[in-house]
Structure 1
Amino acid sequence: MAIGELITDLRKARGWSQGRLASAINDTFGTNLDREYVSRWERSKVTPGPFYLRCLSAVLDVPLAVLEGEVKRRMFLTDAAGAAIAPVVASDLLSAGFAARLSGGPTADAWEAKLATYGTEYMSLGAADIQRRISAELVTVQQQLDTPQLWSVASRLMTLYAKTFPGSDGSKAVHWYRMAAKAADQSGDEAARVWVRGRAAIALGYEGASLGVADMLADQAMAISNKPSLGLLNAIFGKAHTAAIRGDRDAARKLIEQGRRVFDKAGSYEQTSDYAVPWWRVNVFISLLAARLGDEKTAVGAQEAARAELPPTLPRFATHLEMHRGLMITRSGDSAGGVAYSRAALEALPPEKHSLTLRLLMAEVEGRPVY
């Protein structure tokens, strides 16, 4: 996507006119922009320089690296094969891609089975392991994008791939979430279009990262369809987290209740897949939401409900709940106690079970910026 399209999307996600965006930059940085100049950015007649990229990053609440990344965007294959991958590994990926093109690659049903496996494994394996494997799958499926179903497969793989990038490199996560949304649109699959946007929204909202992008993707998912679904459920809770972080308590509480109603109609029985949202996982969402809102009663109730149904094979999520309690302690005024409690919970989890999201949560407890 061109930088102009990204600026337009982020502006509209806030409900701003071009004039309102110009005013926000002028008020914050003492500049003298007018609506026409913003229009020229959005029509790609002019590309914002480094100073204005920083201005846009601040007022639109999006990491600077995301905006810079759109200016210096790379081709899909470069991102997939070249992201922190040694040349010999890139060679293997390229070979796999050409082999898929020559042989036809896995069938659509085989891809759906792969997705189910990755969804389950993501819940317990480390991000680095998943990232290496999905890189290869993306290079392969890229050579098979001849049917709507395979575009749908690619969009869901991209979404999972985005989750494997660290908070210090949030621009890559956002880039892949946005590409996943475009791939889902290409598929014409309404469920996939809602799901990839909702999954991105809950991931960013839960992590407290790129709130403007999280809001935008959640709003898009909710606009595509209001039919109860797991994608819509994720979108609602993602938007609830952005509201909580921004201090909009009323909006966050209304969204929690809306999410509960959607769960009643669309919640999943599958317990251990990243593509599922069972009741225990809803309560993990609510636990952190309530901790961020300072609602101790709701947080404790959600934590108890989550523990009652949390599969014992997923200790990482039990650690999430303990760290939510640490955040509550911090928000109550005992910063040192909350940090110590959360750090002890994290250190009790074997290092190979750690996730990027847990590290971001630790940063939030410590009061450090995420990205």
Structure 2
Amino acid sequence: MAIGQLIKDLRTARGWSQGRLASEINKAFGTTLSREYVSGWERSKVKPGPFYLRCLSAVLDVPLAVLEGEVKRRTFISDVAATAIAPIVASDLLTAGFSARLAGGPSTDDWEAKLAAYGTDYMSMGAADIQRRVSGELVVVQQQLDTPQLWSVASRLMTLYAKTFPGSDGAKAVSWYRMAAKAADESGDQQARVWVRGRAAIALGYEGASLGVADVLADQAMAISNKPSLGLLNAIMGKAHAAAIRGDHDTARKLMDKGRRVFDKAGSYEQTSDYTVPWWRMNVFVSLLAARLGDETTAVEAQETARRELPTTLPRFATHLEMHRGLMLAKSGDREGGRKYAQSALDALPPEKHSLTLRLLMAEVEHS
């Protein structure tokens, strides 16, 4: 399959026009791509270069290897149609939801066990796999929203689901984060209300996307409770990243110090769940934040500390740390060296392990 046809198929599967695809790339990467240029790609009049291939990979949520022809494109499209697009509209999902309702559905304890499993799976699985599975769970849980506890479950599932979309796509990721916050409010569970907002804030702040929304959700989390918790920690660090990207370095440093104090009281021992922030993960947050601030000493110290404790089963996070070094190089003035360093780190990670966040980080390095 020619790359032009692949781009067209992926675009139409999302229900986007050529202008919408151009707009999504421009929003995410600060480019000035036109609809006519997208049309040229799709008609095979011009082939997208390496930079735009990475842009397309991020906004269309497709492995770069597919766009570069290393994976058979026709097979990929068939798999997407069978396992990613179809379940969203398939009657099987509706059947599962109503059947669960009629049978009483999973118990609250069952749902909590599912959430714990997803928290672990998220750390190593690709966004598309998580998205497919969680979409089915959301159809089931929405049939059971009779108790505050199940609203809490739904809010955390929504937050996880939102994380599978690019943060720059306000129509998807941001709307799901906002809906998750409302669902948490329905639960009356203060811990859930803080956690879903904090998780959204760190996701958007780390990605450098929708910074205004990151700030709002972080502020809401901090207003709900100032009791040390992982939700509060995520909110503070998300707001710190947003401040650093805007150039407000004093605020970012103050928030980083505040985050460290909260971590001392709320940090977790569990190492491999999205619902936890152990010492190594806190240092991943600090590593990127310090790189954005141009604080090489703090960044390198955080990177070395994170590497000592990072589980070997989570190579994606090791890639994050290496790409932070690339960002540091780029910000110090060696843009080409930083780009090459970050790209080499990304290329060393198997394509199926790539994440939307890593792709956005690569774009940040290239534009530093």
Whether these two folds match at TM > 0.5 is: yes
Cα distance in 2 for residues equivalent to 1:223 and 1:331:
34
| Residue matched to 1:189 | 189
In the TM superposition, 1:212-291 aligns within 5 A as 212-291=212-291
| Residue matched to 2:204 | 204
In the TM superposition, 1:68-147 aligns within 5 A as 85-86=85-86, 90-147=90-147
Query: 1:122·1:130 contact (CA, 8 Å) conserved in 2?
Result: yes
Q: Aligned in 2, Cα 1:263/1:88: closer, same or farther, shift over 3 Å?
A: closer
Query: 2:138·2:154 contact (CA, 8 Å) conserved in 1?
Result: yes
Structure 2 stretches lacking a partner, 5+ long = 1-22, 28-82
Query: 1:167·1:360 contact (CA, 8 Å) conserved in 2?
Result: no
| Residue matched to 2:159 | 159
Cα distance in 2 for residues equivalent to 1:87 and 1:232:
35
Deviation at 1:91, TM superposition (A): 1.4
| Residue matched to 2:342 | 342
Give RMSD over aligned pairs: 1.7
| Residue matched to 1:61 | none
Query: 1:207·1:357 contact (CA, 8 Å) conserved in 2?
Result: yes
- Secondary structure (helix, strand or coil) at the match of 1:86 reads helix
| Residue matched to 1:180 | 180
Cα distance in 2 for residues equivalent to 1:169 and 1:235:
20
Query: 2:233·2:263 contact (CA, 8 Å) conserved in 1?
Result: yes
| Residue matched to 1:365 | 365
Deviation at 1:169, TM superposition (A): 3.0
Query: 1:206·1:241 contact (CA, 8 Å) conserved in 2?
Result: yes
Query: 1:323·1:342 contact (CA, 8 Å) conserved in 2?
Result: yes
Q: Aligned in 2, Cα 1:201/1:87: closer, same or farther, shift over 3 Å?
A: closer
| Residue matched to 2:300 | 300
Amino acid at match of 2:356: L
Cα distance in 1 for residues equivalent to 2:111 and 2:343:
39
Cα distance in 2 for residues equivalent to 1:296 and 1:207:
20
1:286-306 deviations in Å (ceiling 9; x for gaps): 000000000000000000010
Amino acid at match of 2:317: F
Deviation at 1:168, TM superposition (A): 5.8
Cα distance in 2 for residues equivalent to 1:311 and 1:244:
28
Cα distance in 2 for residues equivalent to 1:93 and 1:132:
11
Deviation at 1:101, TM superposition (A): 1.5
Cα distance in 2 for residues equivalent to 1:95 and 1:145:
17
How many residue pairs get aligned? The number is 288
| Residue matched to 1:309 | 309
Deviation at 1:309, TM superposition (A): 0.6
Cα distance in 2 for residues equivalent to 1:143 and 1:85:
22
Deviation at 1:338, TM superposition (A): 0.6
Deviation at 1:262, TM superposition (A): 0.4
Cα distance in 2 for residues equivalent to 1:285 and 1:228:
17
Q: What's the TM-score once normalised by structure 1's chain length?
A: 0.76
1:141-181 deviations in Å (ceiling 9; x for gaps): 00000000000000000000000013563430000000000
1:340-366 deviations in Å (ceiling 9; x for gaps): 110100010011111111011011111
- Secondary structure (helix, strand or coil) at the match of 1:145 reads coil
1:333 aligns with 2:323: no
Structure 1 stretches lacking a partner, 5+ long = 1-53, 59-82
Deviation at 1:109, TM superposition (A): 0.0
Query: 2:204·2:211 contact (CA, 8 Å) conserved in 1?
Result: yes
1:122-141 deviations in Å (ceiling 9; x for gaps): 00000000000000000000
